[in-house]
Amino acid sequence: MLWAVLILSLLQNSVLSSIVNSQEALSFQPIASLPVANASKSFWIDTPGANLLGNEGSIGPLTEDADVCIIGAGMTGISATYHLAKAIEKLGLEGSSLEVKAVVLEAREFCSGATGRNGGHLTPYSFFNYREYEEKYGTIEALKSLQIENRTAMAMVSIIQEHQLADVVDLVAGGHLMLISSEEEYASLKEEYLAASRAGLNVGDVEWLPEEDVDRIYGASYSAVKFPAFNFWPLKFVTQLYLLANSSTPHFSLSLHTHTPVTSVTPLSSSRIWSVNTPRGSVKCSHVLHATNGYASHLLPQFGGPSGIIPTRGQIVVMRAATPVNDSWKASWGGLDHYWFPRPVNGSISDHGTEDGKENPVVILGGGRHIGGPAFEQYETDDSVVNTALGEELRAFLPETFPHMFNKGEDAEMEWTGIMGYTSMADPFVGPIVEHLQSGATSGIFTGQYIAAGYSGHGMPRAFSCAEAIANMIIAAIQNKSWSTPEWLPKRYLTKNRSQEKN
Ligand SMILES: Cc1cc2nc3c(=O)[nH]c(=O)nc-3n(C[C@H](O)[C@H](O)[C@H](O)COP(=O)(O)OP(=O)(O)OC[C@H]3O[C@@H](n4cnc5c(N)ncnc54)[C@H](O)[C@@H]3O)c2cc1C
């Protein structure tokens, strides 16, 4: 299925499963390192003033005791704080002295993992991959696989709207334009779309654009399919989520320690059952969430290797257009093994923006992974360096695709890497930690520890909902209640159901 390789070049089930099970992959170091100290500079993190919580809680005393310890301050970890706060608010505890204490421990700066280094797309995949999901997991699960993406994106957008944060997080609701490389790919996508539609998926907003229209309106010689999607500044969204969680209810207290890597989680024989250990001291906790994405296996070695979470490095460049772009170009784009979007030019000073927004925008561009072969950049946790060959490929892409809008030979204004967490199913692990990933078997020695990680390069439209599932599991456990799977969560994401895997 050629077309699937083109979707953000990141989510591709069948190719991915053959990659991660290959001998080539096995020759790499299966256990992830901790995040490296000197990460490459990303536009999202290193634009002056962008990372309000960058070094929060990095000096002074460490929180010693908490009900919930969250390891990792990315989209997953901070979404979990938000959902914990909301769930506690819903309990209606007025007059009660109950207080749930949560602490977030982050190895580097706030949000300095994949969420602070990604492509900025919030793209629910409409009907893509439908047939493969249906064939492997059945109609209901296939529908849920796509519906959760829409649910997640709309929930995030509704928070942005409710709190009037669209300008703060640079939300652009421009849709996603997927360029189509061949007639064969076009036919395959159409089949996908029709199958999803027959199964009852809402695909009413999908538009098919012939090559003449794409050429005339957008300046590229390809046909395309357009569907609803967004781009934004993920780190700023995560910052706002943290601030909302922190101010939500007096029954939830939240603290954050950046530059505090967790080096181990060990059992305690007290009412707090886990000691979460860092070079600055330990935190005693009852519940621990591993929101560590590609680094998960560092603390949980059973997640190392092909059936676990494979750290995989991705790369982004910032290219400047040679012309202003019209409003219709201000979408998110994908296809041809790349993904990109123009920053709203009046969005921030570093975009050289003007009041009227007429200057040439910068374009955030990623992808190009085909150049490295199937196991490209897998088992790689060093985001301090970039891959030169990939960088060249990325620099060449926009002038080749939009010859009237980008100058050949132009250098990138910024370039960085980040670490994704891939899994053989291209789906995340969500739920209580198990000892045996393939069977979901557990003897209970990890009771109280949870994970939500492994979005396989497609985390923005999934992590926020997966964190909600975990937050509700924790709240249920705090109340001694049982948790049941929400109808919107694909069942195969759950750690205990991993035996459903079909490669
Ligand atoms: C180059 C690139 C481009 C991408 N583009 C897109 C895109 O456009 N759209 C999309 O949907 N997805 C994209 N993704 C994927 C997306 O960014 C991730 O799926 C998502 O950010 C995962 O969020 P997370 O919170 O689970 O992980 P992360 O954001 O990686 O957060 C994990 C955090 O845990 C911390 N950590 C790890 N180990 C420890 C430890 N032992 N102690 C303390 N802290 C620890 C890390 O420092 C990190 O901050 C991209 C990823 C990359 C790298």
Q: Is 80 exceeded by the pLDDT of residue 29? A: no
C-alpha torsion sign, points 366, 367, 372, 374? positive
C-alpha 289 to ligand 1 mean position (Å): 15
Using N-to-C axis directions, what is the helix angle for 183-198 and 130-137, rounded to 10°?
Answer: 50
Angle at 219 between CA 412 and CA 326, to 5 degrees: 80
Q: Could you read off the pLDDT of 186-215 as tens digits, one per residue?
A: 999 999 999 999 999 999 999 999 999 999
Instruction: State the distance from the centre of ligand 1 to the C-alpha of 456, rounded, in angstroms.
Output: 10
The letter for the amino acid at 395 is R
Q: Are 24 and 199 in contact (CB under 8 A)?
A: no
Q: Is 121 in the pocket of ligand 1 (CB under 6 A)?
A: yes
Question: Could you tell me the distance, in angstroms and rounded to a whole number, from the CA of residue 316 to the centre of ligand 1?
Answer: 14
- pLDDT category at 438 given cuts 50, 70, 90 is confident
Among 170, 460, 462, 465, the mutation site with the greatest number of ligand 1 atoms within 8 A of its Cβ is 460
Nearest ligand 1 atom, CA 313: 53
Half-sphere exposure of 245 (CA within 13 A, CB side): 27
- Predicted pLDDT of residue 342: 95
In whole angstroms, give the CA distance from residue 359 to residue 480: 57
- According to DSSP, the β-strands at 429-432 and 414-422 are unpaired
Beta-strand ranges (E) seen in 237-292 are: 252-257, 264-267, 274-278, 281-290
Q: 393 by DSSP, 3-state: which?
A: helix
Q: What's the full length of the chain, in residues?
A: 503
317 lines ligand 1 (CB under 6 A): no
> What is the number of the ligand 1 atom nearest to the C-alpha of 263?
41
Question: Quick one: average pLDDT of 242-252?
Answer: 96
Share of the chain above pLDDT 90, in %: 83
Highest mean pLDDT among 6-15, 201-210, 431-440 belongs to: 201-210
Q: What was the pLDDT predicted at 348? A: 44
Centre of ligand 1 to C-alpha 418, Å, is 7
* Percentage of residues of the chain with pLDDT beyond 70: 90
Write down the pLDDT at residue 369.
Answer: 87
- Token pair, residue 407, equals 């100058």
Between the CA of 58 and the centroid of ligand 1 the distance, in Å, is 20
Ligand 1 atom with minimal separation from the 316 CA: 1
| Residue 85: alpha-carbon gap to chain centroid | 21
For residue range 405-434, what is the model confidence (pLDDT) as tens digits? 999 999 999 999 999 999 999 999 999 999
Question: What digits encode the pLDDT tens for the residues 273-287?
Answer: 999 999 999 999 999
* pLDDT bracket for residue 501 (50, 70, 90): low
Q: What is the position in ligand 1's atom list of the atom closest to the CA of 111? A: 49
If one residue of 115, 316, 390 were mutated to test the ligand 1 pocket, choosing by the most ligand atoms within 8 A of its CB, it would be: 115
CA of 308 to the centre of ligand 1 (A): 16
Query: Considering only CA atoms, which of 22, 104, 39 is closest in space to residue 290?
Result: 104
Residue partners of 189: CB distance under 8 A and separation at least 6: 3, 128, 178, 180, 225
Q: How far apart are CA 149 and CA 323, in angstroms?
A: 34
Look up the pTM and report it. Answer: 0.94
Is there an atom of ligand 1 within 6 Å of 378 CB? no
Nearest CA to ligand 1 atom 18: 459
- Contacts of residue 63, defined as CB under 8 A and 6 or more positions apart, other chains included, come to 101, 103, 255, 257, 283
Instruction: Give me the mean pLDDT over the 83-108 stretch.
Output: 94
**Cα-to-centroid distance, 74 and ligand 1 (Å):** 6
Find out whether the beta carbon of 71 lies less than 6 Å from any atom of ligand 1.
yes
**Cα within 13 Å of Cα(105), Cβ side:** 31
Encode pLDDT of 115-165 as tens digits. Answer: 999 999 999 999 999 999 999 999 999 999 999 999 999 999 999 999 999
- Residue 233 CA, ligand 1 centroid: distance in Å: 14
Q: Does residue 502 carry a pLDDT above 70?
A: no
Mean pLDDT of the chain: 91
pLDDT above 80 for 9: no
**Angstrom distance (rounded) from CA 107 to CA 279:** 10
**360 or 14, which is more confident?**
360
* Spacing, Cα 113 to ligand 1 middle (Å): 4
Over residues 36-95, the pLDDT tens digits come to 999 999 999 999 999 999 999 999 999 999 999 999 999 999 999 999 999 999 998 888
Helix (H) or strand (E) holding 317: strand 310-320
**Of 78, 118, 338, 422, which is best to mutate to test ligand 1, by the most ligand atoms within 8 angstroms of its C-beta?**
118
User: Which residues pair with residue 418 across a beta bridge?
Assistant: 314
Pairing of strands 338-342, 332-335: antiparallel
- Counting from 1 in the atom list of ligand 1, the atom nearest the Cα of 32 is 38
pLDDT digits (tens, 9 = 90+) for 294-331: 999 999 999 999 999 999 999 999 999 999 888 889 89
Q: What's 223's DSSP letter?
A: E
Instruction: Write down the pLDDT at residue 384.
Output: 98
Quickly state the pLDDT bin for 500 (edges 50, 70, 90). Answer: low
Per-residue pLDDT band at 345 (split at 50, 70, 90): low
- Measured from the Cα of 461, ligand 1's closest atom is 11
d(CA 442, CA 108): 31
Q: Which helix (H) or strand (E) holds 421?
A: strand 414-422
Q: Is the CB of 316 under 6 A from ligand 1?
A: yes
Q: What's the longest Cα–Cα distance across the chain?
A: 69
- Residues 371-398 have a mean pLDDT of 93
Distance between CA atoms of residues 381 and 275, nearest Å: 25
Residue 366 CB–ligand 1 contact under 6 Å: yes
Q: Please tell me the distance between residue 458's alpha carbon and the centre of ligand 1 in angstroms.
A: 10
Judge whether residue 7 has pLDDT over 50.
no
pLDDT score of 15: 31
